[in-house]
């Protein structure tokens, strides 16, 4: 199931970047054991509830976050400001929304919370005992970012 | 006289993207008003002349469903059409929005072509 969900994360992220960020991205191999780290400065997360509980988190280094925001807004971005936080939060929201649609196709109903963004170097997420962790790395010319999913299945 | 639109989304980035998508889709409005939640949207509708509203669903303070419900109870603004633009796609919540007067929905993420396809016939 983790491989399937990682595929959904990839699909949702590609769709968001293609249609809303106007930026080509390449995906790396998903990591399932927590060993993959992203050297991030900003992380946007959105909680998931329902048949699957957990969160989706976008981890970005500074330059990547600024480039992604530039792509979304169609203007240069020089610092990690409110626009960057807002843009990353909205990407997390849309990726989670795409994931939700895919999971509903598996009979797994998920509700989304509102996105939150934290700034700090190499934030590590910690989830409950038994939770699964998937990290899907992506690349743009400015560097690497990651989409992490922590979750516990209560049914499916 | 041209038309005016109100964009309702708690993300300022998303409001900018929707505005850009409208221009890319060739849909010109005289005025683009913005609101960060349902409460702000109601205040704009009571004050300004708005022809159509494009609204998110998941928002703090007053979400899109609560906004539709409150708007439906105000005679001066109840007939202004509202198109939902949201990550929410479930039949239950979109159905609820339509039962409260929403004229349609667009899923995020979207393309300018999709905006034109859904919004164009409503103008």
Q: Judged by CB atoms within 8 Å, which residues 80-99 of B form the interface with A?
A: 86-90
Mean pLDDT value across residues B21-41:
95
**Matching residue, tokens 């900018």:** B16
CATH code for the part of the protein at A2-153 = 3.40.1550.10
For the cut 60, the answer to whether the pLDDT of residue B1 exceeds it is no
Contacts 24+ apart (CB under 8 A), A98-101: A98/A8, A98/A11, A98/A12, A98/A13, A98/A15, A98/A16, A98/B87, A98/B109, A99/A5, A99/A8, A99/A9, A99/A12, A99/A56, A99/A149, A100/A48, A100/B87, A100/B89, A101/B89
**Interchain CB contact of B34 with A (< 8 Å):** no
Interface predicted TM-score of the whole assembly (ipTM), two decimals: 0.85
Question: Is some CB atom of chain A closer than 8 A to the CB atom of B17?
Answer: yes
pLDDT > 70: percent of chain B = 99
Is the entire prediction scored with pTM above 0.80? yes
Instruction: Kindly state the average pLDDT of the residues A4-20.
Output: 96
Query: Which structure tokens are listed for B104?
Result: 């349609």
C-alpha B61/C-alpha B10 separation (Å) is 10
Q: How far is A19 from chain B (nearest CA, A)?
A: 6
Q: Which residue in A19, A69, A100 is closest to B109 by CB distance?
A: A19
**Which structural domains are found in chain B, ordered by start?**
4-122 (3.40.50.2300)
Q: What pLDDT, on the 0 to 100 scale, is given for residue A156?
A: 46
- Residue B86: cis peptide before it, omega within 30 degrees of 0: no
- pLDDT tens per residue, range A41-57: 999 999 999 999 999 99
């Amino acid at each position: 199931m983790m491989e399937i969900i990682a595929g959904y994360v990839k699909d949702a992220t590609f769709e968001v970047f293609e249609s809303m960020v106007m930026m080509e991205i390449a995906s790396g191999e998903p990591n399932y054991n927590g060993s993959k780290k992203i050297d991030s400065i900003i992380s946007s997360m959105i909680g998931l509830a329902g048949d699957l509980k957990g969160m989706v988190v976008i981890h970005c280094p500074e330059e990547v976050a600024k480039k992604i925001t530039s792509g979304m807004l169609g203007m240069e971005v020089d610092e990690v400001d409110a626009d960057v936080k807002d843009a990353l939060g909205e990407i997390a929201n849309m990726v989670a929304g795409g994931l939700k649609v895919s999971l509903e196709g598996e009979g797994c109903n998920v509700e989304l919370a509102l996105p939150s963004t934290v700034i700090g170097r190499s934030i590590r997420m910690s989830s409950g005992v038994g939770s699964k962790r998937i990290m899907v790395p992506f690349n743009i010319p400015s560097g690497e970012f990651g989409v992490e999913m922590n979750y516990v299945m209560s049914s499916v | 006289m041209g038309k005016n639109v109100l964009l309702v989304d708690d993300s300022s980035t998303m409001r900018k993207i929707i505005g850009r998508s409208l221009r890319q889709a060739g849909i010109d409005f005289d005025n683009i008003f913005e609101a960060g939640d349902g409460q702000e949207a109601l205040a704009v509708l009571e004050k300004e002349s708005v022809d159509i509203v494009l609204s998110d669903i998941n928002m703090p303070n007053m979400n899109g469903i609560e906004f539709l419900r409150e708007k439906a109870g105000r005679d001066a603004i109840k007939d202004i059409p509202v198109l939902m633009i949201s990550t929410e796609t479930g039949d239950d919540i979109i159905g609820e929005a339509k039962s409260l007067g929403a004229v349609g929905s667009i899923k995020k993420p979207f393309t300018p072509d999709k905006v034109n396809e859904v919004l164009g016939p409503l103008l």
